Amino acid sequence: MRRKDGWTVLIALALVLGPVPGTAIAQPAGTLVVGAVAEPVNLDAAQVTDFNSTRVIRRITESLVAFPDDSTQLVPGLAESWTVSRDGLQYTFKLRKGVKFHDDTPFNAEAVKFSFERQINPDHPFNKLGKYPFANFNFGTIKAIETLDEHTVQFLMKEPRASFLTIMASAPAGIVSPTAVKKHGENYPNHPVGTGPFRFVSWDRGQRIVLEKNPSYWKFPVKVDRVIFRPIVEEQARLTELLTGNLDLAVNLPPDFIAQLENNPRVSLLRGAGAHVWYLGINNEKKPFDDKRVRQALNYAVNKEAIVRDVLKGTGQVSAGPVLPGTWGAEPGLRPYPYDPERARKLLAEAGYPGGFSTTLWVPESGSGMQSPVAMTTVIQSNLKAVGINVALQTMEWGTFLAKLRTKEQDLFALSWAAGNEDPDLVIYPLLHSSQWTPGGPNRALYKNARLDELLQQARITTEQAKRAELYRQAQRILFEDPPWIFVDHEIQVGAVSKRVQGFNLHPSFDLRVETISLK
């Protein structure tokens, strides 16, 4: 009898576990499933710093200024229009009328003031209920926020900062429902409420976040009923789920998967430029790198085309400087340093290093925006070896890497900057202005060029874009001639969607605009 029971259990188990052909369950119409690279940490845009979180949050909350669906130029968002005073010290926003938060409370000037003051005013009743990591970087120049009437709000600045409008389009500038923040207090990051195309429904930890369409969205009727974000860290698992129909959309796919995806009839491959730069930092303070000719030689010695073609499988474009080509601040006349080892050797000899030298290169094994750091630096290492420079690679975990860069002991280091917008003030200034030297700022190359500093400062306080563009073009010519880094590439994002997804494009800000999707 007991033995018989055992068999019954075994057979039952076999039936349950047994092969079920085509485990992909029929996808319900109207539900879109997105594979996230990792689980969002929380859903308050002011309290996160990673793309996984903001990609979900930006469906829920919106900012006054916005990016259109295909670029990072600035267009009206929750503000219909704005004016900037001549001295750049007053920004007045006219707010869109009739917009409501998902909790049915009105979007108005008070809500705008609340959303920023909770981040920057230590005396604000809700300031202590959260940590706002970028508040100072983003909004440190705000002196005061005045509500002129129900639909007009004015920002007064301590000093002019021309990139302020771009910052107002970033995720932390999203407007939150004050009622929701007051209701949930320090738990607000798990109960986000905004005005966006989707409203938050549920979060099953480690498994999925569910959003539902906002039926009264002000901008356009949303065509997808529900979006589910699933965190799948392992790349192969994300790819398998996409190919077996359990995901509709996956991004951050590694270059090695491209060939497989290109020929697969079930999915469409997507590519899109990203506002990003990958560079090989050089410690400009250390010998022999303090000699401009050595840094030029390094740029000639590295075969960027080969890296983009063979390591990145085309998911990058060779860069000639920090600014993304084709954006308003880019210098169109700049061409990347050609691969010319002969010239590199000559420059090294002129600088007094005919036999080359030895140095170290710090590399994070992975990290936000780092593409394929180890493979890329391995190519760079062999390129440099060919001109007589012996490079020892030191690979480290991301957190360790960032900490070590503050010691200023680096020789060479691989790093990237994903600004997610096209304002050079948010790229060149922090990375290369001498006031931003690490550990005080992100200028980890310890670069200093007095003329560049002057141009960047001037561009920062100039409000007119055409004049700023001219200043930035000059700045880029200086950087090309006196290179602070080895310029490597700007990322081209790779994603894939199932065939039923229509109308989706990868956004240069790295945002995932699933609200543009309709399902076949």
Does residue 382 contact residue 306 with C-beta atoms inside 8 Å? no
Is residue 131 at the binding interface for other proteins, with CB under 8 A as the rule?
yes
Cα Rg for the chain, rounded, in angstroms? Answer: 25
User: With respect to other proteins, which residue has the nearer C-beta, 108 or 443?
Assistant: 443
Is residue 417 at the binding interface for other proteins, with CB under 8 A as the rule?
yes
Q: What single string gives the DSSP state of each residue in 280-292?
A: EEE-TTSTTTTSH
**What stretches of 275-354 adopt beta strand conformation (E)?**
277-282, 316-318
- The amino acid at residue 251 is V
Length of the chain (residues): 520
Closest distance between other proteins and the C-beta of residue 184, in Å? Answer: 10
Is residue 136 at the binding interface for other proteins, with CB under 8 A as the rule?
yes
Closest distance between other proteins and the C-beta of residue 48, in Å? Answer: 8
Is residue 8 at the binding interface for other proteins, with CB under 8 A as the rule?
no
**What stretches of 245-340 adopt beta strand conformation (E)?**
249-251, 267-273, 277-282, 316-318
Give the pair of three-digit tokens for residue 140: 């440190």
Provide the b/e sequence for 91-102 (b: ≥16 CB within 10 Å): bbbbbbeebebb
User: With respect to other proteins, which residue has the nearer C-beta, 63 or 138?
Assistant: 138
User: With respect to other proteins, which residue has the nearer C-beta, 35 or 77?
Assistant: 35
User: With respect to other proteins, which residue has the nearer C-beta, 177 or 383?
Assistant: 177
Closest distance between other proteins and the C-beta of residue 406, in Å? Answer: 8
**Residue choice 174, 178, 329, 442 for contact with other proteins (CB under 8 A):** 442
Is residue 227 at the binding interface for other proteins, with CB under 8 A as the rule?
no
**Residue choice 46, 47, 304, 376 for contact with other proteins (CB under 8 A):** 47
User: With respect to other proteins, which residue has the nearer C-beta, 47 or 372?
Assistant: 47
Is residue 265 at the binding interface for other proteins, with CB under 8 A as the rule?
no
Rounded to an integer, what distance in angstroms lies between the CA atom of residue 72 and that of residue 327? 9
Closest distance between other proteins and the C-beta of residue 239, in Å? Answer: 8
Does residue 382 contact residue 388 with C-beta atoms inside 8 Å? no
Say what angle helices 292-301 and 373-386 make with each other, to 10 degrees.
110
Is residue 390 at the binding interface for other proteins, with CB under 8 A as the rule?
no
Residue corresponding to tokens 């957190």? 399
- The amino acid at residue 66 is A
Rounded to an integer, what distance in angstroms lies between the CA atom of residue 468 and that of residue 454? 13
Give me the residues that bind other proteins (CB under 8 A), please. 13, 16-17, 19-25, 27-28, 31, 33, 38-39, 41-42, 44, 47-50, 130-131, 133-134, 136-137, 186-187, 189-190, 204-208, 228, 230-234, 236-238, 240-241, 243-244, 246-247, 368, 397-404, 415, 417, 430, 436, 439-442
